[in-house]
């Protein structure tokens, strides 16, 4: 559908109403617009322009007061046509750089501290999602023998994902056998995908090692098969969040009827992950508003998201809040964090 053009006066007044409503969380009247923005035109002229914006679907009239609020269409027009990104304060730039830190050789490509910084700086709910790549890569494996013959296997992937398995073999291995098996697995790292782990296990069983190493090879095969199962069993990536209190404290979510769906959304998280994936793209922060995000509590929220490739791993980051959110500041913030992460490869 073609978006209607607005003349300069209507564009300015829509901008004033959106930014005033974002700041005050109240309907905006013509007298306030005239005084706050030092306009020389009369309140009647402003009221007439606001009425025309309402007729075109950009403003709403929530009750009998003279004030108006932006509709989703008004916010969309503002974001796409009127908004000017807000500069990032030096203190925020410094905090982001410190949170990213030096490039690690291993571990999560989007540090947990970045999630905390994004929540604190945005004053919204911060979201991070590490996406599965075409292959899962195990970079570290540890095996520990406990009392009673129990073995614990722990693996870590390049995304930072950790998985564990524990079991009790019929014949618990001695220390030497355990060291032989772990050394064999260490030599095979990194293990790229479950298929490679399965192939390595089959190779260990086929080989004819010396009598002293046979038990170590057999145990290594068992461990590699368990590694393959752990990699295959990995479900879809989970969205990580920080700042739930930021979004729950917004005026839009103070009634029980609006708070309950939000609490369920924060607990389930999968709808947030889908909405973030649908919103974000590489190279710039994008905005999805209200019903563009889907049904349920997401209809009352907006998301500013961006895809990033950080340290060789693709992910998504963003913020979520009510439809009445400071888009100027948040688009700049998400873009800046995403760009800094991309530079830290």
Q: How many CA atoms lie within 13 A of 114 on its CB side?
A: 26
Rounded-to-integer distance, Cα 222 and Cα 232, Å = 16
- Over the range 288-305, which residues count as b (16 or more CB within 10 Å of their CB) and which as e? bbbebbbeebbebbbbbb
Rounded-to-integer distance, Cα 266 and Cα 238, Å = 12
Sorted by where each starts, the structural domains of the chain and their CATH numbers stand as: 8-82 (1.10.10.10), 90-131+237-343 (3.30.450.40), 137-234 (3.30.390)
Summary count for the chain: helices (H), strands (E): 13, 11
Rounded-to-integer distance, Cα 53 and Cα 57, Å = 6
pLDDT at residue number 105: 47
Give percent of the chain with pLDDT exceeding 70. 90
Highest mean pLDDT among 42-51, 95-104, 154-163, 305-314: 42-51
> Is the pLDDT higher at 212 or at 92?
92
pLDDT at residue number 8: 92
pLDDT at residue number 5: 83
Q: pTM here?
A: 0.71
Question: What are the pLDDT digits (tens) for 74-102?
Answer: 999 999 999 998 999 999 999 998 888 76
What value does the mean pLDDT take over residues 8-23? 95
Rounded-to-integer distance, Cα 181 and Cα 205, Å = 12
Of 137-141, 154-158, 244-248, the poorest mean pLDDT is in 154-158
> Is the pLDDT higher at 284 or at 214?
284
Contact between 127 and 319 under an 8 Å Cβ cutoff? The reply is: yes
Q: Does position 211 have pLDDT exceeding 50, yes or no?
A: no
Question: What are the pLDDT digits (tens) for 293-322?
Answer: 988 889 999 999 999 887 667 788 999 999
Contact between 316 and 305 under an 8 Å Cβ cutoff? The reply is: yes
Q: Tell me what the pLDDT averaged over the chain comes to.
A: 87
What value does the mean pLDDT take over residues 147-165? 83
């Amino acid at each position: 559908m073609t978006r209607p053009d607005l003349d300069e006066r209507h564009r300015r007044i829509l901008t004033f109403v959106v930014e005033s409503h974002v700041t005050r969380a109240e309907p905006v009247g013509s007298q306030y617009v005239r005084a706050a923005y030092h306009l020389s035109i009369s309140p009647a002229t402003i009221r007439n322009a606001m009425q025309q914006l309402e007729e075109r679907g950009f403003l709403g009239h929530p009750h009998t007061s003279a004030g108006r609020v932006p509709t989703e269409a008004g916010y969309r027009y503002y974001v796409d046509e009127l908004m000017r990104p807000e500069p990032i304060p030096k203190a925020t730039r410094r905090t982001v750089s410190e949170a990213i830190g030096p490039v690690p050789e291993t571990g999560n490509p989007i540090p947990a501290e970045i999630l905390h910084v994004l929540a604190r700086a945005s004053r919204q709910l911060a979201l991070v999602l590490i996406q599965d790549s075409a292959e899962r890569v195990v970079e570290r494996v540890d095996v520990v023998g406990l009392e009673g013959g129990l073995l614990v296997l722990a693996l870590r992937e390049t995304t930072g994902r950790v998985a564990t398995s524990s079991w009790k073999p019929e014949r618990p291995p001695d220390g030497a056998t355990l060291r032989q098996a772990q050394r064999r697995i260490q030599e095979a790292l990194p293990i790229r995908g479950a298929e490679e782990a399965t192939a390595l296990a089959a190779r260990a069983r086929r080989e004819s090692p010396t009598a002293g190493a046979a038990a170590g090879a057999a145990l290594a095969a068992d461990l590699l098969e368990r590694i393959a199962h752990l990699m295959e069993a990995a479900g879809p990536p989970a969205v990580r969040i920080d700042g739930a209190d930021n979004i729950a404290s917004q005026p839009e979510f103070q009634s029980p009827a609006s708070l309950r769906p939000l609490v369920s959304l924060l607990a389930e998280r999968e709808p947030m992950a889908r909405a973030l994936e649908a919103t974000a793209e590489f190279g710039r922060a994008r905005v999805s508003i209200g019903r563009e995000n889907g049904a349920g509590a997401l209809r009352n929220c907006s998301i500013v998201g961006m895809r990033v490739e950080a340290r060789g791993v693709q992910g998504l980051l963003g913020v979520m809040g009510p439809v009445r959110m400071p888009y100027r500041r948040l688009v700049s913030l998400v873009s800046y964090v995403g760009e800094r992460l991309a530079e830290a490869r």
